[in-house]
Structure 1
């Protein structure tokens, strides 16, 4: 089993940061970036759990929900990676995605 602690830590930090942002920062792009990340994390989890299936898209539930969407999809992916033989290889890519999104939601975006 793959140790997914680094991914969970990064996802939780980013999700908490999104939850703490003011509406103005969320509407200037932070929410869109978070939603894009949530959609990618969900698609990756679904490809691992249902190979060959068509991934379902995470809906746009509004700027105030995006932190929760990142948290849920990140934890789903972590669980899929934990149970998958390819998990260790995929973990680095997923972690890089979350870290890149977190850098894009820094003080300049807020």
Structure 2
């Protein structure tokens, strides 16, 4: 159902996401947060799917995780075994564990 609904979505919306949404630079926002005095107290958990071809685990680690660490965030990184791109749907227990870790 999820794939069917995604494929049936508005073509302009899909093209807009690829052309604009995925190109948005989030680093200035991270820089503003990183200026806070207690940034090391901000726990972040990053999950990557073992078989994700959209956001590949090596790129997630080198780009996302390293950018967060460089800005002083307290970062945990996990590769979810057997997962592809939709970790919350494929492995909700991994998301639950990550949330428990961040909130504890």
TM-score calculated relative to the size of structure 1:
0.29
> Which one has the bigger strand percentage?
2
> Which one has the bigger helix percentage?
1
